[in-house]
Structure 1
Amino acid sequence: MTGTEDRTDTFARTDDGVSVAYQRRGTGLPLVLLAGQANNHHWWDGVREDFHSIRSTITLDWRGTGASDAPREGWSTRRFAEDVVSVLDTLGIERADVYGTSMGGRVAQWVAARRPERVRRLVLGCTSPGGPEAVERDASVRRALAGPDADAVRQTLTELMYTPGWLAEHPGPYGTLGDPRMAPHARHGHLIASNRHDAWDVLPSVGAPTLILHGDQDRLTPPDNAPLLAARIPDSRAHLLRGARHAYFEERREEAGALVRAFLG
């Protein structure tokens, strides 16, 4: 079943009893869009309609964000992947295309590797395999993001997401800088989940054709991770977007969207 109805602001119940909010827009074959760390479904607000000519889109609020529950446990990319499957089960969707960016790309790796029968095509954006094989951000970026001044940290994150030229023409607000209503324990849980991600050993199990996208100026998740993923996932190819940073999908909306739509077919 693919489903064509527009179901929105509905909830799925996970096997550990957590209520996960999801949103469905458009009609046609389903495309699941997975957001970055500490973000809810608004991460995709600027671009999701670009896919409605070929797909319906499904987003969700990660546990701890948006309208979803914020339990004290269950913070891992593998657990988040099972939450995605719970949403698909609730919707009666047996198989979908999956597009994950940043931490959402880490989660998508687990969905595609552990539940290959559920994923038709896979897109991984601005993400990494995690673990010791991954290329980590440099120490200066880590220090800046861990600073005590919240305004300075937000400014740093904004500049890691977008180029100065784009920011000058787009004054915001931006939907990619984190859910401001997250509880502290949930924000910390997302950080742990992302930092402890390591899917290196299971990536050869990904059976879906895979497109890997990355901005070549991404300092939040270095672009050297793209060829690592491409070499590890059997039927995959990587494409670098020249001059783009972490939020390439929004800043380079036309180019990135066209690549994904062509790949999905």
Structure 2
Amino acid sequence: MNDTFQDGWITLEGLRFHYTEWGSPSKPTVLMLHGLNVTCHTWDPFARVLQNDYHVLCLDLRGHGDSDWARCGYRVRQFAQDVHKFIDAMGNGPLHLVGHSNGVRVGIAVAGERPEMIRTLALSDAGPQNSATGAIAMRDFITETTNLRSFRDEAELRKFYLGYHPEWDPEFIDLHVKYQMRRNWAGKLVPKQDPDLQWIVGSISLPDVKYLWKMAARLSMPTQIMAGRNSNVIDAEVVEKMVKTMPNARATWFDGGHYFLREKPQEFLDCLQPFLAEHESK
């Protein structure tokens, strides 16, 4: 494993954000946004490959990883404003934007509000709204993983993740063990993320659905939608509506669930890399 990233920190509107930086700043920039209750390091296996052709930035969103928790909350527009400020501060726009799960919702908001800053948009297994069953599944999953019990050591933590995600490529289990938790004052491994993030999947976010569909209609940039056939978050109905709503979108289906990119990372790259290259050359 050849990890060649640099850790970075930046303060935006009083919150301190952590990010990783891969590749040369002289290359076209790709910004990658993670999902709920994970960290920017979930992108490490992909950024490691993409850095050969791109300058890759992976941001810990507010309340996640090594970024600050936010007392004022976690609405999608607040995430989006953080990303806008990050792009402006780094001076890397216009850029390619890649998001998974909640990173998709944030990506749609960012690209819809400032389409001139986004060259291409790649959206992995989420949309402006979840499927009917997906909303319940995501609520239950986030509640369970936000309120994880503590762990004594990495071995106990690894056993937990292997039991929860046996279908994942082993490297993603390793990344979760290494970066998802912190040692608290009692010496226990506990989640890094703010427990208040769980409210995102409740009724508090229902008003965001109308807003995100409105933003989706403004996505004039080339947009690649990627979805798992066995996803418990979105379904064919949602994907079809996304393709019809987004002016320049296409969809690709993968054999897998919501985390198909962690089940078959090479297949994910085999879709993402040609998409980026196709529009980089234009």
The SS at the match of 1:53 is coil
What is the rounded CA distance, in whole Å, between the counterparts of 2:92 and 2:137 in structure 1?
A: 43
Question: Is 1:182 aligned to 2:216, yes or no?
Answer: no
Q: Secondary structure at the match of 2:253?
A: strand
Alignment of 1:166-181 (within 5 A): 166-167=167-168, 172-173=173-174, 175=176, 180-181=191-192
Runs of at least 5 residues in structure 2 that lack an aligned partner in the other structure: 150-156, 182-190, 278-282
- Which residue of 2 is the match for residue 20 of structure 1? 17
1:76 touches 1:193 (CA, 8 Å); kept in 2? no
For 2:53 and 2:9, the matched residues in 1 are separated by: 25
Q: Compute the displacement of 1:245 (Å).
A: 1.1
Higher relative contact order (CA 8 A, sep 6+): 1
Give the TM-score normalised by the residue count of structure 1.
Answer: 0.80
- Separation of aligned partners in 1, 2:7 and 2:203: 25
Equivalent position amino acid for 2:231 in 1: D
Partners of 2:228 and 2:65 lie apart in 1 by 27
Alpha carbons 2:231, 2:257 under 8 Å: kept: yes
Distance 1:111 1:193 in 2: 22
Aligned-partner residue type, residue 11 of structure 2: R
Q: Where in structure 2 are the equivalents of 1:41-190 lying within 5 Å?
A: 41-130=40-129, 135-137=132-134, 139=136, 142-143=139-140, 146=143, 150=148, 166-167=167-168, 172-173=173-174, 175=176, 180-185=191-196, 187-188=197-198, 190=200
Partner Cα separation in structure 2 for residue 118 and residue 108 of structure 1: 12
Matched AA of 2:121 = L
SS of the residue corresponding to residue 211 of structure 1 reads strand
* Cα displacement (A) at 1:130: 2.0
Q: Over aligned residues, Cα RMSD in angstroms? A: 3.3
Q: Give the 3-state SS of the residue equivalent to 2:97 in structure 1.
A: strand
Cα displacement (A) at 1:224: 3.9
Which structure shows the bigger proportion of residues in helix conformation?
Answer: 2
Q: Which runs of 5+ in 1 are unaligned?
A: 1-5
Identity of matched residues, %: 22
Distance 1:174 1:67, change over 3 A: closer
Q: What does the per-residue CA deviation read over 1:193-232, in whole Å, with 9 as the maximum and x for residues that have no partner?
A: 9944320122111121100001101114445432221111
